[in-house]
Amino acid sequence: MIRVLLADDQALLRTGFRMILQAQPDVEVVGEAVDGADAVRLAARLSPDVVLMDVRMPVMDGIDATARITAAGSSRVLVLTTFDLDEYAFAALRAGASGFLLKDVPPDVLAGGIRSVAAGDAVVSPRITRQLLDRFSGSLPDPAAPPVAAEDALGALTERERQVFTEVARGLTNAEVAGRLHLSEATVKTHLTRVLAKLGLRDRVQIVIHAYEHGLAG
């Protein structure tokens, strides 16, 4: 069973998410948090596999809560947003979230996202990834920081690994990368695992962030 903690300050939404997830045979809702601070406390006590995290909450917002929960290392965080260009979404990813979904996603997409995050993957929509990168292009990377050459950042990768890195950074799924590069999904997954290890990244969300901050997002 995938153990899920719900974190949202709106009781009606928590109830709705609980009803959706209770209908899934492999998902168990183990708790509900009413704000970010409550989410941090409950995550430490319950050690859920996935925390379904709202961003805008009182006492402590979802960004700070995400950073604290992921730093503890026991749970992964899937962020929920109301708008696909939520100004806090990218910050939540940088804080350690494994992806984010819109609150009005179909139940099967929500359940699928939770399964992906619980399995160690990340949920990144190509459309929203592109919009996020465009939205934050004026503020990231830090203008005071010296630029990092693409060759320096990717020097440890083989040519094929660079190709996989580039496509994943654009938000493509493994299946889409496989189709574009004429590889099997298993081969793409192998290359992706090596890319993550060589660059010291956790998942495909961090690939997107790494690519942008090093001027490699195309």
Q: What is the DSSP string of 122-140?
A: -B--HHHHHHHHHHTTTT-
Q: Helices in 60-184 by DSSP H: which ranges?
A: 62-72, 89-94, 107-118, 126-135, 150-154, 159-169, 174-181
Given this model, what pLDDT does residue 44 score? Answer: 96
Given this model, what pLDDT does residue 139 score? Answer: 44
Q: Where in the chain are the domains? A: 2-123, 150-213
Given this model, what pLDDT does residue 142 score? Answer: 45
- CATH code given to domain 2-123: 3.40.50.2300
- Under 8 Å CB-to-CB from 217, ≥6 apart: which residues? 133, 169, 170, 208, 211
Residue identified by tokens 């004026």 is 138
pTM metric for this prediction: 0.71
Given this model, what pLDDT does residue 115 score? Answer: 92
Write the CA distances from 199 to 17, 73, 165, 192, 196, integer angstroms.
36, 19, 10, 11, 5
> Which residues of the chain have a pLDDT value below 50?
138-151
Dihedral class, residue 130 (left if φ above 0, else alpha if ψ from -120 to 50, else beta): alpha
- Under 8 Å CB-to-CB from 112, ≥6 apart: which residues? none
- CATH code given to domain 150-213: 1.10.10.10
What is the DSSP code (8-state) at residue 7? E
